[in-house]
Amino acid sequence: MVEQGNSVSTESDSRIVSDSEAKGIVKRLPPKLAAYISLARADRPIGVWLLFWPGAAAVALAGGLLSHWFLLPAFFIGAFVMRSAGCVYNDIVDRDLDKKVARTRNRPLASGFISVKAACLFIAFLCLIGLGCLTFFNPIARFTAIASLALVAAYPFMKRISWWPQAWLGLVFSWAALVGSVAIWDRFEWPGIFLYGGCIFWVIGFDTVYAIQDIEDDALAGIKSSARALKSHLRLGVSLFFVLAVLGWGAAIWFTRPQPLVLLTLLPVVLHFIWQMTTLDVNDGQNALMRFRSNRQIGFLLFLACATIGMANNFSVY
């Protein structure tokens, strides 16, 4: 089958990206539907969770779990559609680079199975849903959320000009922490800012682990990444980012409830980070992918820590 000069195999496997978590399900869907699901990464929900947890943690830390419970489903739906829109936009910009990387050459845009025009219409549809989610937020939170679009628009170009595109992704993927905090407090407060800062370093760390899969292909294609920049210091570098993440989250919790014992709420997070770093094999892409995916548990543990502090502040005076 040929579309716009690009040869595409008639086998459904050719339209499924190699790191898909649901190959069996996607293969059984109509080809076009399967391609759009792959384009939106709907078969790989890890990115949705990683985008959702900073916002949920911010709402929890600010004590809004009961009074603003409706923000959590709004954050989740928003994370799903906006992560999907971001992936589609990223694939439009990177379609020529994706052809040079084994893991991504079968993506629908890189293979030519879906046209750029159709992908743009898909983005518009997803963004309309995202705008609908913003109706649940106060005006300053809406403005804060919309402001992130400038960062999203610039992200795909970072790997062309910087060895640290993961740092820019940290700014983007952590933004929900700011949105969630101002949605409760109606203003920027230090706990929300520190939570955001900690999430930035967390994202740099886990996306560096993710980039281990592509080090060789990235080198051949001329794509820059933090994994390539760190070279033999990769494990040490990622460990440092995770330490900085914990320090940022600890500061957020301390500024919310300044008592030494509250920092123990982050102990499960610390133990999970230690497991990741002690079991990471920097020469094994599959090992790195599994460690990357385990960060959904980190997000959940962070949410529990923030919920503990937020609920404690709601029901006690100190």
> What single letter denotes the amino acid at residue 97?
L
Residue 314 has a pLDDT of 83
CB atoms within 10 A of CB 5: 6
Q: What is the model's pLDDT at position 23?
A: 57
Q: State the pLDDT at residue 6.
A: 36
Tokens for 254? Answer: 């301390």
Tell which residue, 269, 289, 278, 203, has the closest CA to residue 235: 278
Contacts of 49 (CB under 8 A, 6+ apart): 79, 296, 299
What pLDDT was estimated at residue 316? 67
- Nearest Cα residue to 261 out of 201, 302, 305: 305
Nearest to 252 by CA among 269, 239, 235: 269
pLDDT for 52 equals: 97
- pLDDT tens across the length of the chain (318 residues): 333 333 333 344 444 454 454 456 777 788 889 889 989 988 888 999 999 999 999 999 999 999 999 999 999 999 999 999 999 999 999 888 888 777 788 888 988 899 999 999 999 999 999 999 999 999 999 999 999 999 999 998 998 888 999 999 999 999 999 999 999 999 999 999 999 999 999 999 999 999 998 888 777 777 888 989 998 899 999 999 999 999 999 999 999 999 999 999 999 999 999 999 999 999 998 999 999 999 999 999 999 999 999 999 887 644
Q: What is the pLDDT of residue 15?
A: 46
**Torsion region of 4: left, alpha or beta (phi above 0 gives left; psi -120 to 50 gives alpha):** left
Distances (CA, A) of 127 to 48, 80, 84, 195: 15, 11, 9, 26
Domains of the chain: 29-308 (1.10.357.140)
pTM, two decimals, is 0.88
